[in-house]
Structure 1
Amino acid sequence: MVRILRGFAHKYFSDEEAVILGLMLIIGTMFVIWFGAMLAPAIASLIVAFILQGLVTKMLAWKVPEPLAILIVFLLFLGILAGAIFGLMPLVWTQLSNLARETPRIIGELQSYLELLPERYPQLVSLDAVATIYQQVSTEVGQATQWLVTASLSSIPDLLALLIYAVLVPILVFFFLKDRDVLLDSIARMLPPQRATMRKIWHEVNLQCANYVRGKALEILIVGTTTYIAFKILGMPYAALLSLLVGLSVVIPYIGAAVVTVPVAIIGLFAFGWGSQFIWIMVAYGVIQALDGNVLVPVLFSEVNNLHPVAIIVAVLFFGGIWGLWGVFFAIPLATMLKAVVAAWPVRELPPAPTNR
Structure 2
Amino acid sequence: DAEALQSATSWLAKILPKVGAWLFGQVSKVASWFGVLAGLALIPVYAFYFLLEKEGIEKKWTDYLPIARSGFKDELVFVLRSINGYLIAFFRGQVIVALCDGILYTIGFFIVGLPYAFLLGVMATVLTMIPFLGAITTCLMALVIAFVQFGDWWHPLGVLTVFAVVQTLEGLVISPKIMGERVGLHPLTIIIAVMAGTTLLGGLLGGILAIPLTAALRVIMFRYVWKKREA
In the other structure, the counterpart of 2:80 is 202
SS in 2 for 1:235: coil
Per the TM alignment, residue 282 of structure 1 is displaced from its structure 2 partner at its CA by 4.0
TM-score, length basis structure 2: 0.55
Contact 2:106 2:120 in 1 (8 A): yes
Q: Identity over aligned residues, as a percent? A: 18
TM-score, length basis structure 1: 0.39
The answer to whether 1:289 aligns with 2:167 is: yes
Per the TM alignment, residue 339 of structure 1 is displaced from its structure 2 partner at its CA by 2.0
Q: CA RMSD in A?
A: 4.5
Counting matched residue pairs gives 188
2:57 pairs with one of 168, 172, 183: 183
Contact 1:317 1:328 in 2 (8 A): yes
More helix as a share of residues: 2
Aligned 1:241-320 pairs, distance under 5 A: 244=124, 247-248=127-128, 251-252=131-132, 263=140, 272-275=151-154, 277-278=155-156, 280-293=158-171, 294-295=173-174, 298-299=177-178, 301-304=180-183, 305-306=185-186, 307-320=189-202
Per the TM alignment, residue 170 of structure 1 is displaced from its structure 2 partner at its CA by 0.9
SS in 1 for 2:181: coil
Q: Given the superposition, is the C-alpha separation of residues 315 and 286 from structure 1 closer, same or farther in structure 2, using an over 3 Å criterion? A: closer
Per the TM alignment, residue 232 of structure 1 is displaced from its structure 2 partner at its CA by 7.1
Q: Given the superposition, is the C-alpha separation of residues 283 and 210 from structure 1 closer, same or farther in structure 2, using an over 3 Å criterion? A: same
Contact 2:131 2:207 in 1 (8 A): yes
Q: Of the two structures, which has the highest relative contact order with CA contacts closer than 8 Å and spacing of 6 or more? A: 1
Per the TM alignment, residue 338 of structure 1 is displaced from its structure 2 partner at its CA by 3.2
1:168 alignment partner AA: L
In the other structure, the counterpart of 1:339 is 217
Contact 1:316 1:328 in 2 (8 A): yes
Q: Given the superposition, is the C-alpha separation of residues 345 and 181 from structure 1 closer, same or farther in structure 2, using an over 3 Å criterion? A: same
Partner Cα separation in structure 2 for residue 265 and residue 172 of structure 1 = 35
Partner Cα separation in structure 2 for residue 244 and residue 162 of structure 1 = 24
Partner Cα separation in structure 2 for residue 181 and residue 213 of structure 1 = 21
Partner Cα separation in structure 1 for residue 213 and residue 43 of structure 2 = 25
Per the TM alignment, residue 310 of structure 1 is displaced from its structure 2 partner at its CA by 4.0
In the other structure, the counterpart of 1:163 is 37
SS in 2 for 1:171: helix
Unaligned runs of 5+ in 2: 1-27
Contact 1:209 1:336 in 2 (8 A): no
